[in-house]
Amino acid sequence: MKPVIGYTLGDQAGIGPEVVAAALSSGELPAEAEYRLIGRRENVRMGRPNPESARHAFEHLEQAAQALREGVIDAVVTAPVCKETLHGAGFRWPGQTEFFAERLETKNYAMCLTGKKLTVGLATIHISLQSVPSLLNTEELVRIGMLLKDFCRRKGISRPRIALAALNPHAGEHGAFGNEDESIILPAVERLKELCPEALFEGPSVPDCVYREAAEGLYDAVLAPYHDQGLIPLKLVDFHTAVNVTLGLPRPRLSPDHGTAFNLAGTGKASPSSTIHAFQLAVRMASAR
């Protein structure tokens, strides 16, 4: 049977509807899947965030989560939403990652961004930078490292090479710039080596080098200790192909790695490239379950 890929249109005042339509008509999506709209096309004012478009976006996310829970769809691609207006509509989660994890009753989850050159898993997500050192711990890095390894294998990489990026400049210089790399990240690397002989784990890797090395093919993925350390290099080299994947869910949830771009809505200038890649990866992941 064909895998069924659901999709939402996100905040329809933004570019979601047009990039989804462009992706579906591009001729680049796998023919061996069925693509099904979750929710409906709404008549909203385009180009500006508003409470009405946020309310519809929230309703359609709830419908998508229900469809995943019930197995009506095998994966879902969610178009971009505006978090500010979404929160005003009663959305109480930091982002879609946390929302889908709760709705699918998944505690073992993580955010991953993947493009043509880089795949980055995040140890911490939407928190302040000053909170990162206190929230990093070895057990969490091991847990997310294993999810990242499983994702790489699901993409067809038989023995993934994964680097754990250091938190501090120069990996801390043996404690000169902080001790988190030796006390938290190094033990995680050693534990992952023990638990996952089918993968190659390295680290703590110097942050200002490891992403270039991964982009050049030395690593299949990098586990970043905080949001911007991983997403800045990824969006620099893979902006048009990057896809946001929630790891650990019973059925995949993916989205293009860009925002609502209200200023581009209706202009025809928004690129569907990231959305196309999200659909392509959704089919691959759904077929590999």
Tens digits of pLDDT across the chain (289 residues): 899 999 999 999 999 999 999 999 999 999 999 999 999 999 888 898 899 999 999 999 999 999 999 999 999 999 999 999 999 999 999 889 999 999 999 999 999 999 999 999 999 988 889 999 999 999 999 999 999 999 999 888 999 999 999 998 887 577 767 788 999 999 999 999 999 999 999 999 999 999 999 999 999 999 999 999 999 999 999 999 999 999 999 999 999 989 999 999 999 999 999 999 999 999 999 987 6
Going by C-alpha positions, the residue among 24, 71, 56, 66 that lies closest to residue 289 is 71
β strands within the chain, DSSP E: 4-8, 34-37, 75-78, 110-114, 119-122, 161-165, 200-205, 221-224, 243-247, 253-256
Q: Which residue has the tokens 């009405």?
A: 52
Instruction: For residues 33 and 30, give the distance between their C-alpha atoms in angstroms, rounded to a whole number.
Output: 6
> Who's near 83: CB < 8 A, 6+ residues apart?
91, 94, 95
Distance CA 147, CA 237 (A): 23
* Amino acid sitting at position 196: C
Q: Return the pLDDT at 288.
A: 79
Distance of alpha carbon 80 from alpha carbon 15, whole angstroms: 8
Structure tokens at 46: 């385009």
Bridging pattern class, strands 110-114 and 75-78: unpaired
Predicted local distance difference test score (pLDDT) of residue 155: 87
pLDDT in the model for residue 139 = 96
Contact 10, 258 (CB under 8 A): no
Find, among 287, 283, 289, the residue nearest to 76 by Cα.
Answer: 283
Distance of CA 247 to the CA centre of its chain: 8
Name the pTM for this structure.
0.90
Question: How wide is the angle at C-alpha 71 spanned by C-alphas 70 and 76, nearest 5°?
Answer: 110
Question: Are the CB atoms for 236 and 242 separated by under 8 Å?
Answer: no
Task: Write the secondary structure of 70-118 as one string of H (helix), E (strand) and C (coil).
Answer: HCCCCEEEECCCCHHHHHHCCCCCCCHHHHHHHHCCCCCCEEEEECCCC
**pLDDT score of 179:** 86
H or E element at residue 214: helix 207-215
C-alpha 30/C-alpha 34 separation (Å) is: 9
Q: Please, which residues bridge with residue 46 across strands?
A: none
